Structure 1
């Protein structure tokens, strides 16, 4: 049944206001734009009954999980029985078996990824939409400014110099105290215009007045991760893009695009960027390819025959139920609970496809990478989803995070500035006052992501060191390096020539383990367990000496000193490497994780094992006890 036009729902809301008293209700709560995920275009706030077909869906809440797969829930035994013919293919799928093995094992052949083809393949442009590192709160107030409980937290200026997506921004804003009274100015920059404008549109969907926080957060979740959108949601996004870019967008003489948009609260969202980047986005959204063509392109990429072994290598590391949850996502392209009917998703998400309908997401991209898995499962449970449906849990988690983010921006005083410039050029522009909001050139946090891998540490410090707020002793430049080990063959265990040697040494140190490992080694290069072990070696490989060598090669200490900075001896925002707590003793060099913690962080959470983090602060940062919090 088609959803009622949104204006009828609004008029109905006004009638309710008249009856109940306008001062007693939230007007926005009465408005529905019909952009939700459910078959009736409503939002999904709890797990729905899985008894759904293309023609009809049970509107009740899902309460009882399927005893066999635990991925889907029903409201009653009757609905379960009615839906069995639809659910059967998933419930009895080989992926759910504890004894499932990749096809290369059952066919007794070597996996194809051991011998990558050297034949010329067609170039397929990709965009890193989803990121591959866990999001971070760049404030970490409890170990920084928040330590001064007797003083109110003052104004803050934050810079995300190379931010492909908005996860770090969301995590940071959500960490602000609910009673925060200062001003927070945030700069969000990236060189890729597709990523930048995707962020800009998602922020507008989340933060502008109109749909409720619930509707906005749900649509933003699909804009981030789903290949298809509900019909009403796609139409709403079209109107948003028309309003942002085509109605009153200002193109200055220097061919720059400038826009200022209101939010639900006091703050605003600004954008300054070259106008050439806008053209690419408009081409994507003015395209006309149908959904079936888009999904065909997605599947041809993600489920191509030459990727079978690589895909199954990852599946072999997952729990059976999680394999099935990911397979459902591959089948539909939609991030949603396993129980949800996706009949309402009728339009392609044109953010994730080229103007010709070609899937732009990298083959190995994973929507779960970058999120805290324990938090993801907790969110799912809160909304009625089983932990086994990990991507259904992720749907509710991302939506909760987005809703909280939009709520914070509504209630606090936050301005967000979205730009698309080379990071070095941007820093120089800020220095000469090109962005009025940051004319004092004084940031409390500067997150440079992995720029150091592209421009070198000294250049990174030269660009951003002068822009650090020297009045705030907690102000810091935060860096991460993914490539520090690239030219050091013994630095990263899984990539080095001594990987098997390290593995054997670790096995021999654990009593009785060498016996259990005999069957694994007997399979040789066909053993999925052996691949998992080799790929996890860096979590247990102590490479501090090699990393210190990297820092010396970068001339880190003298480069920092040249800009009155120093490398922090004790980190205050993020641990030096994944798996080690921020407050771990200095002697702890390796993660100390249970098997479940390792699985959550590295296996399914996607934390990159060799990545290292750096924090720089002012040499004359002064005593933290004297910090007033005023920028």
Structure 2
């Protein structure tokens, strides 16, 4: 009944909520902008301030060391991005774990590190859990914030950062400057160059550089750009009908709140989003949903408004933050933040010291690469003699796409391929197609990769780079059984016709994931007991 009510409400608001809605390129009988030269074109800023792949618990302690593990833990997020993986990992610790945990977060992008520092300072200085969670959530995801959030920035965060800036004001700009703040059982240490400390202070000092109305326009010039209308319409073709209006609503106001909650208090531009010149610094496709499991978000209760996807995200993130804050308040945690190229971390961190290392996708060829990751980062991981469960986690987001030849693409997309036959079961023809740009054709072609098996391409990629031979030279091996993440976690698990298979397919389509993402886990080999691959 609740779902029917929500769909009825959505339908009454806009044509977007109706079966009869058509993308603009269909209504205007023209070629969509994303065809031809528009394929793969990006628009807007270049910052990745939100995660673009679901959060993961990099420890999975109960499944690895065990819930009764009685040693201290040391974790490294070598290319951390935002805080989602840290939060998921801390929240996944069993109640029985009562030892200290040392966590290092690093990212090359200053804006990401600055936001992480600010959010963690709020987590450690605001004692009221609901107040802290609300402030963190909106500074993380909302383009405009409340006066209460500004007050926290000015009273809790700004004095701490300005104190450091004042102390290093007369110092040389060369070198790194570290500051450790202690809060009850936990501590936060930040190591930055002098210019970065000054820039960090500017993040909480730019509160009046752009008006609220100017900020709204600067943001919507990206998120609702007329030139990107066809890209937005294409995405809405992939969404369940009831999710279209929440999608557009968030593009319009950029405030992460349930649909019916008042927004009049959000009158201050979020100072961590807008550049010094006021411009918006993320791509138009940036979406807070991409950093979390869509299945978990969809299954979050949001009252009768079951179609309010961003409302569900609000409740999901708020609960995750509340759990994180409670965990952090009762544990002995040392948080360390750096801002540097991950390849430089071995110069500043101790070898053989980390229980887990998560490197995001810097193992992709466009970044550090798998050879550089294994050669430079792996020595930081604990040896099997110290911790047989110590693991380095690598993500490959681009390897398959970059390795495919034109022949591979034609073979996997042919009408007699296994993928096409499978896809016909998920998307059977239901009407006469209007043109080659019919939304059903575009959706079908896009969806083919969701049901395609790319294992042969990925294995070919590993062989071409001689990854296993290289790993062996450094006394490293790929784990035969992965214990943190599945190798292909975003591949469809159910077969067409099985209970829940259609829902899984539609959820995957709406998630922005392609199924080409691959995780590999690595361990060091004990020099006294080297094992073959």
TM score, norm. by length of structure 2: 0.89
Q: Could you tell me which residue of structure 2 aligns to residue 87 of structure 1?
A: none
Residue 108 of structure 1 aligns to a residue in which SS?
Answer: coil
Q: Could you tell me which residue of structure 1 aligns to residue 141 of structure 2?
A: 225
1:392 paired to 2:311: yes
The Cα of 1:481 is off from its aligned counterpart by 1.1
Q: 1:479 aligns with which of 394, 411, 422?
A: 394
Conservation of the 8 A alpha-carbon contact between 1:230 and 1:344: yes
| In structure 1, distance between residues paired with 2:149 and 2:426 | 54
| In structure 1, distance between residues paired with 2:416 and 2:199 | 48
**CA 1:154/1:107 → structure 2, altered by over 3 Å: closer, same or farther?**
same
| In structure 1, distance between residues paired with 2:152 and 2:108 | 27
1:463 paired to 2:376: yes
- More displaced, 289-298 or 480-489? 480-489
Q: Could you tell me which residue of structure 2 aligns to residue 616 of structure 1?
A: 522
Q: Could you tell me which residue of structure 2 aligns to residue 136 of structure 1?
A: 56
The Cα of 1:122 is off from its aligned counterpart by 12
Q: Could you tell me which residue of structure 1 aligns to residue 159 of structure 2?
A: 243
**CA 1:603/1:580 → structure 2, altered by over 3 Å: closer, same or farther?**
closer
Q: 1:127 aligns with which of 31, 41, 47?
A: 47
| In structure 1, distance between residues paired with 2:30 and 2:418 | 28
Q: 2:190 aligns with which of 267, 271, 285?
A: 271
Q: Could you tell me which residue of structure 1 aligns to residue 232 of structure 2?
A: 311
Deviations 1:136-173 (A, max 9, x none): 11111232112xx6x43421100000011010110001
The Cα of 1:473 is off from its aligned counterpart by 0.7
| In structure 2, distance between residues paired with 1:528 and 1:211 | 51
- 1:58-207 aligned within 5 A: 67=5, 69=7, 91-116=12-37, 125-146=45-66, 151-207=68-124
**CA 1:565/1:227 → structure 2, altered by over 3 Å: closer, same or farther?**
same
**CA 1:555/1:386 → structure 2, altered by over 3 Å: closer, same or farther?**
same
Q: Could you tell me which residue of structure 1 aligns to residue 177 of structure 2?
A: 257
| In structure 1, distance between residues paired with 2:6 and 2:320 | 31
Q: Could you tell me which residue of structure 1 aligns to residue 460 of structure 2?
A: 549
The Cα of 1:621 is off from its aligned counterpart by 9.6
| In structure 2, distance between residues paired with 1:294 and 1:503 | 51
Conservation of the 8 A alpha-carbon contact between 2:419 and 2:448: no
- 1:512-527 aligned within 5 A: 516-517=428-429, 519=431, 522-527=433-438
**CA 1:115/1:67 → structure 2, altered by over 3 Å: closer, same or farther?**
same
Conservation of the 8 A alpha-carbon contact between 1:370 and 1:605: no
**CA 1:468/1:316 → structure 2, altered by over 3 Å: closer, same or farther?**
same
1:412 paired to 2:331: yes
| In structure 1, distance between residues paired with 2:275 and 2:423 | 51
The Cα of 1:67 is off from its aligned counterpart by 3.2
- 1:415-494 aligned within 5 A: 415-430=334-349, 439=350, 441-453=352-364, 454-470=367-383, 471-490=386-405
Q: 1:344 aligns with which of 256, 265, 270?
A: 265
1:594 paired to 2:513: no
Residue 402 of structure 1 aligns to a residue in which SS?
Answer: helix
| In structure 1, distance between residues paired with 2:251 and 2:161 | 32
Residue 51 of structure 2 aligns to a residue in which SS?
Answer: coil
TM score, norm. by length of structure 1: 0.76
Conservation of the 8 A alpha-carbon contact between 2:70 and 2:99: yes
Deviations 1:373-411 (A, max 9, x none): 232234333xx3632101011111111111111111111
1:563 paired to 2:474: yes
Residue 67 of structure 1 aligns to a residue in which SS?
Answer: helix
**CA 1:240/1:499 → structure 2, altered by over 3 Å: closer, same or farther?**
farther
**CA 1:286/1:99 → structure 2, altered by over 3 Å: closer, same or farther?**
same
- More displaced, 233-242 or 452-461? 233-242
**CA 1:468/1:445 → structure 2, altered by over 3 Å: closer, same or farther?**
same
Conservation of the 8 A alpha-carbon contact between 1:380 and 1:394: no
What stretches of structure 1 of length at least 5 have no aligned partner? 1-62, 73-89, 431-438, 624-631
Q: 2:301 aligns with which of 377, 380, 388?
A: 380
Deviations 1:224-264 (A, max 9, x none): 1100001121232133342232124553654433222233x
Structure having the higher Rg: 1
| In structure 1, distance between residues paired with 2:281 and 2:72 | 39
**CA 1:277/1:385 → structure 2, altered by over 3 Å: closer, same or farther?**
farther
**CA 1:70/1:376 → structure 2, altered by over 3 Å: closer, same or farther?**
farther
Residue 314 of structure 2 aligns to a residue in which SS?
Answer: helix
| In structure 1, distance between residues paired with 2:298 and 2:369 | 38
Residue 387 of structure 2 aligns to a residue in which SS?
Answer: coil
**CA 1:233/1:239 → structure 2, altered by over 3 Å: closer, same or farther?**
same
Conservation of the 8 A alpha-carbon contact between 1:258 and 1:271: yes
Q: 2:447 aligns with which of 518, 536, 552?
A: 536
**CA 1:203/1:69 → structure 2, altered by over 3 Å: closer, same or farther?**
same
The Cα of 1:335 is off from its aligned counterpart by 0.4
What stretches of structure 2 of length at least 5 have no aligned partner? none
Q: 2:512 aligns with which of 606, 614, 618?
A: 606
| In structure 2, distance between residues paired with 1:64 and 1:518 | 28
| In structure 2, distance between residues paired with 1:620 and 1:186 | 25
Conservation of the 8 A alpha-carbon contact between 1:96 and 1:324: yes
